[in-house]
Structure 1
Amino acid sequence: MSPDGLGWIIIDSLDTMMLMNLTDSLAEPRKWLQRTLNYDQDQDVNTFEMTIRMLGGLLSAHYLTTKIPNAASRRDSVYLAKAIELADRLLPAYESRSGIPYASVHLSKAKGVPSHADGGSSSTAEAATLQLEMKYLSYLTGNDTYWRKAERPMKVLSNNHARDGLVPIFVHPESGRFTSREIRLGSRGDSYYEYLVKQSLQTSGREPIYLEMWEEALRGIQQHLITTTKHSGLKFVAELPEGIGGPLSPKMDHLVCFLPGLIALGATQGHTLSKARTWPSWNSKKEDQIQLARDLMKTCWGMYAVTKTGLAPEIAWFHANEEDLSPAPGDRPMAPTRNSLSAWKKDYIIKPLDAHNLQRPETVESLFVMWRITEEPIYREWGWKIFNAFEKHTRLSEKRGYTSVNDVNAVPPPPRDNMESFWMVGHSDIQRHSPLTVFPPEDESLHYTVPQAETLKYLYLLFSPKDFIPLTEVVFNTEAHIFPILSKVKWETGWSR
């Protein structure tokens, strides 16, 4: 992906090595960062991916050296030093007329590069999923340049006055205006909503504007996107190809399965549900949000439960009554959900082009958050079944790793000869040295799997003690990198609605 390598998997893995007590293995990547990693390369890189994976990975490693036993070293200054160097290389991406970042940036030329597709537009989600990383870097360095550059896109997007908080999926970096009408919570829309909640959490509620934007968007989601399936009344998140007022498309990406956990996180601010219910501010609206999170979590679990392999497809389509796909489903009463697997199987449609599984993390991410917040064991049970399905159908022999698969309804599923970086694993007898009891200890055959990125990281945390990496102390970026919740921040939000 670049002439001399940028350490995509090395840096993405640093904080997981710390979490899993693989601290003896940190010496080599630290040395590589110090001696080899060079950002002065003739290479365009995606602004969003470079920020969430590389900048996020470096900053998370920097933070965890202060929190994880045995993770610290006298050479740990390299994480922050490289983060600053990288962020300075990324700043030209924000030099558009509007402040919306260009889709890419050229590293050695220090120049933003518009998208080569979509008429030069940037993805709305990508433009609005850079803030946690850049704000944390400002906090660490005392330099507000990173903070201000990254928060400006939020103002520009807000100035479009999207109806009911639901944003179209493309925005032009020069005009700052949306260039499409399509609204969805899958690709190019998803993490815009995620970072509304997480920006508010990151600064300990000192930026209420983002929580206000989230509450508005969640009402819009409930009003315009949530509808039900025909046979079992499962709630799902539809798409609006023509925008608000147009018909719903009964299509839901696996990517959308970040949403149940996010709704619960927004409702309780990372506290357990039992604690949140003691607050004077807790009300029936919050209870409804938690119930919606449970309902959507069930639908995401259903993507796995209805297939022959127990693995979810990339995209699910649903049988729905015609009236349930007409605009504003939130204005109509919805049928209750039936907990019948046979009824569920009638409602999920898996098209051949969508039947592949790419080892994505969103469902297990939400299971982790739902378990921590509700403390309901069903989420661990579902996570364990998902893990076993991956072990059974995607693990290769002779410790050769895991593979994505082409058809979740074929047994065995045809392999794709590809292992995604957000799944990436190594192999080691680490359980005997780990401070955590992660998986049921009686299953010795599973003690050789070392998670290195999102999907298996969230499964690891799902089965870790509840006080390990508590949601009241940290916020996860969209690549599962871990930043602290900041109690003292010297800057205020630089804009208002």
Structure 2
Amino acid sequence: MLVSPRIARILVISTFSFPIAFAGVVQLPSLVLPASAAAHRDAVEKIFTTSYAAYKKFAFGHDDLSPLSAGFSDGRNGWGATIVDSLSTMHIMGLDDLFAEAVNFSSKIDFSVSQTGDTVSVFETTIRYLGGLLSAYELSDNQFPALLQKAKEVADKMAFVWVGNHDVPYGFIDFSTNSPTISTSNIAEAGTLSLEWSTLTKHTINQTYSDLAVKSLRHIANLAAPLPGLAAQGIDPTSGNFVGGYVSWGGGSDSYFEYLIKYARLSNTDEALFADTWLTAVDSSIKFLLRNSTVGNHLYLADFDSSRKIRHVSSHLACFHGGNWLYGGRLLNNQTIIDYGLQLVDACWNTYASTATGIGPEGFAFISSDGNFTGGSAPSTSQIAFNAQHGFYITSSAYILRPEVLESNFYAYRVTGDTKYLDRAASAVDSFNKFLSTPNGFAGINNVNSASSSKIDDTESFWFAEVLKYLYLTFDDPKHISLDEWVFNTEAHPFKAPAPRLSYGTGTIRPGKPFSPKSGPPLPAVSPNPFIPQTTQPI
């Protein structure tokens, strides 16, 4: 049955009494770039090759380049994180010689033990190493079996973090002893494994990999949450229970929400839990967390703390949410979510447009009609003055080469075709060349609101994996790595997606389960935000 995009937005069918909306196309059909895009794409490629040349000169084989001191650091266990994290970007950019060199290096990594003697982060190793290896394997049409072999080796070591019959993995492990670190974790660490581990299952035909990762995602989605669909940030792998009741789309929570809808799409699973939980999380976010700034009417997504108070804070990390809402909104044909997603993208871009460098800060806060509570100090006189001009104020002024604002900008262009998103990406390229360039590659800066800011002596691997890939693809042929054919992991490594299902989930909001802390007084009730229209139901 063929359904036009317009009809699909409004058509709902009933199967076993569940309303199901037809799945939509994510990218705008027949999207065509203007001729000017090619020059911007080439400028991004030049930033990549310049950055990587400096890495090769001073840091090859190590994790990160230290551009100011012309050295290196090994914060990701010394396995050459930048090389593995760069594989998919190299292939997408057509940098064949660099790709071949990186494949050769990656095929010889010894994952039997951390090269730095430190414990291993399962989350970081999954998204960078496992994800990078598997994405490169797929992008190169499975030509390099050594990449799959290395992916299997590192996953086999990480698998020891699932202890006994526990659903939730521990976040860290000692590779020399295969002993997990017994400690609390968070939903981002425990819930951001399903894309990579299920892709490993696809190529090894070993169902155990997928089962381990997906049971953790499923477990979190089924817990009673502080708000329907909105899991608490902290989780105890031993008990499987939430720790506290803090809710955020920022760091520590972010990619759990991201993977709910992306796993549904990549796996084409019949299990409605994942898409419906994502839809419920967005629905609750619209009802309870959205806030408009009193200056500029920018739309922000607040945090919600364990005392059930709104915290008027956000971050560069959280700014992936606009792109994620656009992706899921298109997939579920929910125009309400798409419209809010575009407003979130605009608000996050405003944090770039408002600074002296044209680059956004690590952390920021805002003032809305219900106040400015952040859980910390009240805004200073200078912050209030900045807010009066820009509708937000900076709480952490550094830029450490993060991708999220440009990630959402990429999704916004692919979804709408509006060339303002190309202009924004071009502006970012200009700002990077002007303020981040050093004699030895590119570096972060300590103060995005100072044109003379000092720089940060670290070039994290996600600069190569995410920032420059999203910028490049914004200006590249939309048919190349289409959002309807590939699903990006949270490190921007694309995985090949099957043909889409007719629908994802049931299209209904999951009822919330009663949530209460393990100790302490009963939680106060919370009411929907009266300042946001409650038009949250699908379609």
Tell me which interval the TM-score lies in, with the shorter structure as reference length: 0.7 to 0.9
**Does 2:168 align with 1:100?**
yes
Partner of 1:253: 315
2:449 to 409, 415, 432: 409
Partner of 1:349: 393
Partner of 1:124: 187
Partner of 2:408: 366
Partner of 1:85: 153
Q: CA deviation at 1:313?
A: 0.7
Q: CA deviation at 1:414?
A: 1.6
**Counterpart residue identity of residue 256, structure 1:** A
Q: 1:320–1:347: 8 Å Cα contact kept in structure 2?
A: no
2:216 to 153, 164, 174: 153
State the distance in 2 between where 1:343 and 1:129 align.
34
Q: CA deviation at 1:112?
A: 1.6
Q: Helix, strand or coil for the counterpart of 2:314?
A: strand
Q: 1:97–1:175: 8 Å Cα contact kept in structure 2?
A: no
Q: 1:306–1:344: 8 Å Cα contact kept in structure 2?
A: no
Q: 1:319–1:346: 8 Å Cα contact kept in structure 2?
A: no
> What is the identity percentage for the equivalent residue pairs of Structure 1 and Structure 2?
31
Cα 1:289/1:21, change in 2 over 3 Å: same
State the distance in 2 between where 1:345 and 1:88 align.
53
Partner of 2:79: 6
Q: 1:6–1:39: 8 Å Cα contact kept in structure 2?
A: no
Report the TM-score, using the length of structure 2 for normalisation.
0.73
Q: CA deviation at 1:323?
A: 5.8
State the distance in 2 between where 1:411 and 1:65 align.
41
Q: CA deviation at 1:324?
A: 8.6
State the distance in 1 between where 2:214 and 2:109 align.
32
Q: How many residues were matched structurally?
A: 417
Cα 1:199/1:3, change in 2 over 3 Å: closer
Determine which structure has greater relative contact order: mean sequence separation of CA pairs < 8 Å that are 6+ residues apart, divided by chain length.
Answer: 2
Q: 1:228–1:324: 8 Å Cα contact kept in structure 2?
A: no
1:241 to 305, 319, 324: 305
State the distance in 2 between where 1:476 and 1:167 align.
22
Q: CA deviation at 1:325?
A: 7.0
Partner of 1:227: 291
Partner of 1:297: 345
Cα 1:38/1:240, change in 2 over 3 Å: closer
Cα 1:368/1:205, change in 2 over 3 Å: farther
Report the TM-score, using the length of structure 1 for normalisation.
0.79
Q: 1:43–1:108: 8 Å Cα contact kept in structure 2?
A: no
Partner of 1:445: none
Q: Helix, strand or coil for the counterpart of 2:167?
A: coil
1:476 to 463, 488, 510: 488
Partner of 1:461: 473
State the distance in 2 between where 1:254 and 1:25 align.
30
Cα 1:394/1:156, change in 2 over 3 Å: same
State the distance in 2 between where 1:164 and 1:34 align.
44
Structure 2 residues without counterparts, runs of 5 or longer: 1-73, 375-385, 512-539
Cα 1:295/1:18, change in 2 over 3 Å: same
Q: 1:306–1:348: 8 Å Cα contact kept in structure 2?
A: no
Quote the RMSD (CA, aligned, Å).
2.4
Partner of 2:253: 189
Q: Which moved more, 1:101-110 or 1:209-218?
A: 101-110
Deviation by residue 1:254-301 (Cα, 9 ceiling, x = unmatched): 1111111111111212xxxxxxxxxxx85xxx2221110111111010
State the distance in 2 between where 1:194 and 1:488 align.
18
Q: 2:167–2:216: 8 Å Cα contact kept in structure 1?
A: yes
Cα 1:377/1:107, change in 2 over 3 Å: same
Q: Helix, strand or coil for the counterpart of 2:243?
A: coil
State the distance in 1 between where 2:490 and 2:145 align.
24
